[in-house]
Structure 1
Amino acid sequence: MDNVRAELDRLIQRTNSDYAGLSRLLGRNSAYIQQFIKRGTPRKLDDEDRRTLAAFFGVDEQVLGGPPPATKHGMVEVPVLDVRASAGYGAIAESENRQTCFGFDERWLKKLTPSRSSSLSIVTVTGDSMEPTLSDGDEVLVDASDHASRLRDGIYALRSEDTLVVKRVALKPGGRQITIGSDNPAYPTWSDVDRGSVHIVGRVIWFGRAL
């Protein structure tokens, strides 16, 4: 558990987050995260708290003390989070609790991504800024292990404070600046963005749509 506390503290420092802000994100008192890291109280993170922190930092739950992913009859369970990722001007991510699970065939999933299933989650898209690629109501599979350190051209879930959005990211020559855009030309594009100023939650690697 000491390794979990050390890793959480490292993630906080790396992302310029703060103890009080993360505590509020979890709906806890402002000293909760500091007490967990510095005093060892509570002994371990609550399951929902761990899940929310893992999604916020874009890491495997196992990094923060989570269990290995569950498999049933060759099926891997991927959590569907109770949060919507805006394909518009931004959605407030007030809750990131597990809503339900979606089962993927383990062999099929390995062809899609080499990442561990604990890095994966599904969120629902709202808005039309990513039309025609993604539509309002689509469910997207986000790989949280495929984020800033492996950034390349593609569609990503991004976070700005409490806002979660799905946008297309393109690297500019040199790799330090990126363009963040929408597939729908009616929406703006942000050029020459310092990649270090953007919190990349994970890469969108699959989507599902009701007909």
Structure 2
Amino acid sequence: MPEDPRANLEELIRKNGHDFAAISKMLGKNPAYIQQYIRRGSPRRLAEEDRRRLAEFYGVEESLLGAPAGRQARPRGPVTPDGLLRIKQLQVGASAGPGSLADDEYAESMGFGPKWLRRLGIDPANLSLIAVDGDSMDPTLGDGDDIMVDHSAATRPLRDGIYVLRMDDVLLVKRVAMGPSGKLSIRSDNPQYPDWEDVDAGVVNIIGRVVWTGRRL
């Protein structure tokens, strides 16, 4: 790679199939942040925390992104001896049916390849796994499916998708859309279950967006 930290970062982003806006959002910045840094030179250098997170995310030395030489970064989170990155698993599932009480304790973890995780364009530190409980999201999500949740989505503007959310101390996985009035539509994919329209966003606690699912055949 060349010596220019901006060129190095752009090559990493392109090589991994990401885009500037997605990486900016991963850092909690406005969507133009990385593009302005690379193309306009503003800011002149990355903040230390942003540089560290990017180096960990791409598994490269921080020096490639402008840090003092020799500072090596590794993917965030426990790594198994075979090089897999451990993603924590929530002990109690998110209900896709009538609802179950939330439990925020993590009992286990599952290993994923760091390169595979990087293709998601999400910092692995912001990911967790939750088991679906119930059939209200059939056929998209079934009872017992593992879902990977991006918790950083809770800090960004809502866009249509499947989310884990908490309402009245109940953890749910539902399809969520923002209406023109600013209120939410919360829907089940299984037509046998009711939908909730025009829900006040203030009573909904978004936990994260579902970005991947795995299931037993």
Which TM class, normalised by the smaller chain length? 0.5 to 0.7
Q: Does 1:187 align with 2:193?
A: yes
Q: Does 1:86 align with 2:95?
A: yes
Bigger strand fraction: 1
The answer to whether the 8 A contact 2:167-2:203 is kept is: no
**2:118 matched to which residue of 1?**
110
Secondary structure of the structure 1 residue equivalent to 2:180: coil
Q: 2:169 aligns with which of 162, 168, 191?
A: 162
Q: Does 1:153 align with 2:143?
A: no
Q: Computing the radius of gyration over CA atoms, which structure comes out larger, 1 or 2?
A: 2
- Measured in 2, the distance between the counterparts of 1:148 and 1:166 equals 18
**2:108 matched to which residue of 1?**
100
Quick one: which amino acid aligns to residue 177 of structure 1? K
Quick one: which amino acid aligns to residue 111 of structure 1? R
Q: 2:86 aligns with which of 54, 74, 77?
A: 77
Q: 1:171 aligns with which of 171, 174, 178?
A: 178
Q: Does 1:128 align with 2:120?
A: no
Structure 1 residues 119 and 203, CA gap change in structure 2 (3 angstroms): same
Displacement of 1:148 in angstroms is 5.1
Higher RCO, 1 vs 2 (CA within 8 Å, ≥6 residues apart): 1
Q: Does 1:203 align with 2:203?
A: no
Percent sequence identity over aligned pairs: 48
Equivalences, count: 141
Structure 1 residues 147 and 141, CA gap change in structure 2 (3 angstroms): same
Flag structure 2 segments of 5+ consecutive residues without an equivalent.
1-75
The answer to whether the 8 A contact 2:187-2:195 is kept is: yes
- Measured in 2, the distance between the counterparts of 1:196 and 1:104 equals 35
Output the aligned Cα RMSD.
1.5
**1:143 matched to which residue of 2?**
150
- Measured in 2, the distance between the counterparts of 1:148 and 1:165 equals 18
